[in-house]
Structure 1
Amino acid sequence: MLTEILIFALTSILAYYWYVYKKIHNHFKERDVKFLPGIPVFGNAYKSTCLKRHLMYDLEEVYTAFPDERYMGYVEGTKPVILVRDPELIKKITVKDFDHFLNHTDFFTQEMEPLFSLTLIMMKDDKWKDMRTSLSPAFTGNKMKLMMPFIHEITNNIVDALKAQNGKDVNLDDIMRRFTTDVIASTAFGLQVNSLNERDNEFFKCGQNLFNFNTFQKIYLFLCVQFPIFTKLTKLRLRPTKTTKFFTDIVTSTMEYREKNNVVRPDMIHLLMQLNKGTLESSNSNPEKDVVGFATVQEEMKPRGKTREWTMPEIVGQALTFFIAGFETTASTATMCLHELALNPEVQEKLYEEIKNFSETIGKLSYENINELKYLDCVLNETFRKWSAIVMMDRVCTKEYELPPPHEGGKPYKLRPGDLVYNIVNAIHMDPMYYPNPDVFDPDRFSEENKPNIRPFTFMPFGMGPRACIGSRLALLELKMLFFTLILHFKVMKCPRTKDPIVLAADDFNIKCLGHTWLKFEPRS
């Protein structure tokens, strides 16, 4: 009897998935939208789901299959998604008609991640608008300038740690993630941590728990995405409660201590305290000078005055936002950039000459002069282009919207509330139509002479529009200070374990080299 029940259940599940599989195909066919069929249950994401390749390559496969389309269908498991490849249409969705596409998709439900749902990344509609406008003054240039001493101290720590290796091969993935953890601990949580020496400190371990999923967590996440009701029935958390409790306790106890003892430290905790009191205001700054690099995102949400009271969990959620947004993306960019510099010694030498001349003629790095390192900006921009941490910009349609025909002679596509749109990023960055010889690491693409040739909305490392990354200035500042110090002190070299060319690891949504990035740092005389 049990065997018959299991056979019936399995047959029903397979029949359901086959029905959904064909329904999605018919959905696109009826609307004259081209698509690749994919595989039942997994859709076009089969290879990345089964850890055969990185998700970026799944998206790129669909992108390159239809070079003449403005957009095409992407089958994500049991969901039809519109994959946008036309820069002009991306501009409409992310900027011009943004009010139709306010929200991100729910990668995690509130039941799975109660605190994560309160972050700026996952907030929705008017609540997101209020938080974004309330929080944007925390990321102006004048605020970032005050955090430079904290970042400088941590860059010195990494120099000491690399010198201690005495030329040994180092796992750069580990080092860079410890570096970004320490920067966030200092600038966002007001803690002085040296994860390069104190390798098992609690802050670093809890930070790792936010990003590193074990096999059970990955299976649970897959089941919840495929069967949303599964989350409500099980009521299980994706991450251990003690992890989010750790960050909650840090924020609340630090704020209470500072309030009680009248302590002021110019970090994110202080800015969140001002946000909590409704006293966080923008300092006067010139938008043209408040740019840390070509990739800087200009804030598009205008202040609307104090709009609502924020609860303590919501305040803590924004501290978590800083960790989520600044830990992995900055670490992966730094790692991939150093990997490319090791593979391209002529680029590294040119960068070293600029940094050395700057150090000898100007001396100390400051917020006012950091943008004078033109080639450093080019190197980072080329890293952003080739290895963008943002694979795509997801947007959920919030009110009906009509897309233009996907091709000449086609018919418009009507999006309804809840429909999902992916604005592709990496595939556009690697499209030879916009960047000839895209596999070549060539920072001169972003020289002052060549910048005017870059087509708008073909370079989007921090996203575009009001939903773009709020912390682009902090990320660029952190990266430039790091590279200024590292390249001045070390020659970055390949070692026997260095991958050439770089191939992305398939077991992580983030951008990481397969087998890690292993390099050697030789002190400069």
Structure 2
Amino acid sequence: MIAEILIFILTTLVAFAFYSYYKNQNVFKSKDMKFLPGFPMFGNIIKSSFGKNHMFYDLDRVYRAFPGESYVGYVEGFVPLYLIRDPSIIRLITVKDFDHFVDHRRFATDDLFNESLFMMTGEKWRHMRSTLSPAFTGSKMRKMVPFMCQTSQNIVEHLKETEGQNINVGELIRRYTNDVIASTAFGIEVNSVKDQKNRFYEYGQKIINFSSVQKAKIFLSVIFPKSGFQIFPKDSLDFFKHIVTSTMEYREKNNVERPDMIQLLMEASKGTLDGPTEDKSDTVGFATTELTAVKPKGEVQKWSTDQLAAQAFIFFLAGFDSTASVLVMAFHELALNPEVQETLYQEVREHHEKHGTVTYDGVPTLKYLDGVLNETLRKWPPTLILDRVCQKPYTLPPPREGGKPYTVKEGEVIFNFVNSLHMDEKYYPEPEKFKPERFSDENKQNIKLSAFIPFGSGPRSCIASRFAILELKVLLYYVSLNFILQKCEKTRDPIELTPGEFQVRCIGGSWVKFQARK
């Protein structure tokens, strides 16, 4: 009896999947919108869903199938989506007509995740963004550079002790980003290269290393948005929540202040966080996003301790893994491109001889370092797509000359391409080559608006881009100053992404040999 019921349910689900798939395809056909036939429920990412290749390659296949189209149709699960290819339309959606596409889609029920700035929606998001923006201005980030320098020195000392060994850069760099976030956000001094089993790092690993069950939950949450799956391990979420709440209570009781994220969150909760929200001239690199002013309606909300803990958690999540993946790829590329590495070393050495260290004010003067980082962000941005949910009907321009405009309905989802856009020959000749010169002062002005969006675009862009860029550049500075990065027998050339993943990681890891400079 049970077997018969299961067979009936499975048959019904499969039949509904095929029905929905062809129904949505007919919608695209009736609108004269191009689409690439895929597979019911899995759409065009069936290969990556079953571990045959990385999701980027599946999405890139869709992007490259229609070079003359501004956007194309795509079926994910049981609903139609719209993949935007044209940078000018991406800019319309994310900047000029942002009010039509304010929110990300929600796909998990974890309270700490859903209460974060990344997942908040509507007016609640506007209030939180407005509250937190002063925390990420240059004046606040300036105070965090010394923490980054100290953590970088820990990495340098560790690499000197392991000189000549083949190093899995991914694991090493995640220890660096872990320690930077622990110090600058949570006020905890950690040296993960010495204390390999510290709880902060262990819980972080549990969050970002998705098991097969977690990946299945994410897939099912996307297919069935109201399924109510929890994605992250509860004990890890409780650990980070406890750190924030207990630290706030201790500092409040003992009148303790420290220039870190928890301090800024405490000031935000009291409405005493001062500083401008707009600081357009103060950038730490070409990729810095503007802290666009967002004006909420009504009185400023009061935030609970749990809601503030959620902001610290998303800050950790983005800083621990996304930032780490960029650094890993930067070191991998430097090992594959010794001429780039030598040019970077000469710039860093000259700066160090003059100033003795790297500072917040010194970071923008390192032009080639900025180019190296930007080129890494171009080739290997940690975000494959930028999703947006339509809040009110919006008419897209025709997908091609002579085509029909299409009105996106309330509740429908669009995807803005990132990786594929960054790898398009139309915008970046010889995109597979690692060429920091693309971002020289003479060349970067020729880059089309919204054709370089590693931190997103518009009011919903990454609020912590300054912090991320500083964290990336400081370690690149000190490692380049002290070591020659060399290929070893385990170094993959060219880099290929791990099948079955949506995180940006090289197959088999990024292995590099660090040779101390004399």
Q: Please say whether Structure 1 and Structure 2 have the same fold, judged by a TM-score greater than 0.5.
A: yes
Map Cα deviations across residues 419-453 of structure 1 (whole Å, 9 max, x no partner). 00011111111110110000010110111111121
Partner of 1:39: 39
Partner of 1:505: 498
Partner of 2:436: 443
The alignment partner of 1:513 has SS state of coil
Read off the aligned partner of 1:420 and give its amino acid letter: V
Q: What is the deviation of 1:285?
A: 8.3
Map Cα deviations across residues 128-149 of structure 1 (whole Å, 9 max, x no partner). 0110011000000010011111
Tell whether 2:288 aligns with 1:291.
no
**Alpha-carbon separation, structure 1, partners of 2:266 and 2:120:** 20
The alignment partner of 2:33 has SS state of coil
In terms of mean alpha carbon deviation, does 136-145 or 505-514 score higher?
Answer: 505-514
Aligned positions of 1:30-429 closer than 5 A: 30-108=30-108, 110=109, 113-231=110-228, 237-282=230-275, 287-288=280-281, 290-302=282-294, 307-429=300-422
TM-score with structure 2 setting the length: 0.97
Tell whether 2:16 aligns with 1:16.
yes
**Alpha-carbon separation, structure 1, partners of 2:264 and 2:6:** 57
**Alpha-carbon separation, structure 1, partners of 2:371 and 2:247:** 39
Q: What is the deviation of 1:383?
A: 0.5
C-alpha change, 1:306 and 1:358, in structure 2 (3 Å) is: farther
Q: What is the deviation of 1:238?
A: 2.7
**Alpha-carbon separation, structure 2, partners of 1:224 and 1:17:** 16
**Alpha-carbon separation, structure 1, partners of 2:287 and 2:3:** 59
**Alpha-carbon separation, structure 1, partners of 2:500 and 2:48:** 8
Q: What is the deviation of 1:4?
A: 4.2
Give the total of aligned pairs. Answer: 517
Q: What is the deviation of 1:507?
A: 3.1
CA RMSD of aligned residues (A): 1.5
Given the alignment, which residue of 480, 488, 495 partners 1:487?
480
Read off the aligned partner of 1:497 and give its amino acid letter: K
**Alpha-carbon separation, structure 2, partners of 1:335 and 1:268:** 25
Read off the aligned partner of 1:158 and give its amino acid letter: I
C-alpha change, 1:156 and 1:3, in structure 2 (3 Å) is: closer
Q: Is the 8 A contact 1:142 1:283 kept in 2?
A: no
Q: Which runs of 5+ in 2 are unaligned?
A: none
C-alpha change, 1:5 and 1:269, in structure 2 (3 Å) is: closer
Q: What is the deviation of 1:217?
A: 2.2
Map Cα deviations across residues 139-169 of structure 1 (whole Å, 9 max, x no partner). 0001001111111110010011111113100
Q: What is the deviation of 1:391?
A: 1.1
Map Cα deviations across residues 317-353 of structure 1 (whole Å, 9 max, x no partner). 1111211221111101100011000000000001001
Map Cα deviations across residues 112-135 of structure 1 (whole Å, 9 max, x no partner). x11110000000001001100110
Q: What is the deviation of 1:212?
A: 1.6
Read off the aligned partner of 1:404 and give its amino acid letter: P
Q: Is the 8 A contact 1:134 1:303 kept in 2?
A: no
Read off the aligned partner of 1:224 and give its amino acid letter: S
Map Cα deviations across residues 23-53 of structure 1 (whole Å, 9 max, x no partner). 1211111111100010122111111111111
Given the alignment, which residue of 470, 477, 485 partners 2:463?
470
**Alpha-carbon separation, structure 1, partners of 2:285 and 2:2:** 64
Q: What is the deviation of 1:207?
A: 1.0
The alignment partner of 2:251 has SS state of helix
**Alpha-carbon separation, structure 2, partners of 1:240 and 1:385:** 32
Q: Which runs of 5+ in 1 are unaligned?
A: none
Q: What is the deviation of 1:87?
A: 1.2
Q: Is the 8 A contact 1:393 1:424 kept in 2?
A: yes
Q: Is the 8 A contact 1:43 1:78 kept in 2?
A: no
Read off the aligned partner of 1:445 and give its amino acid letter: R
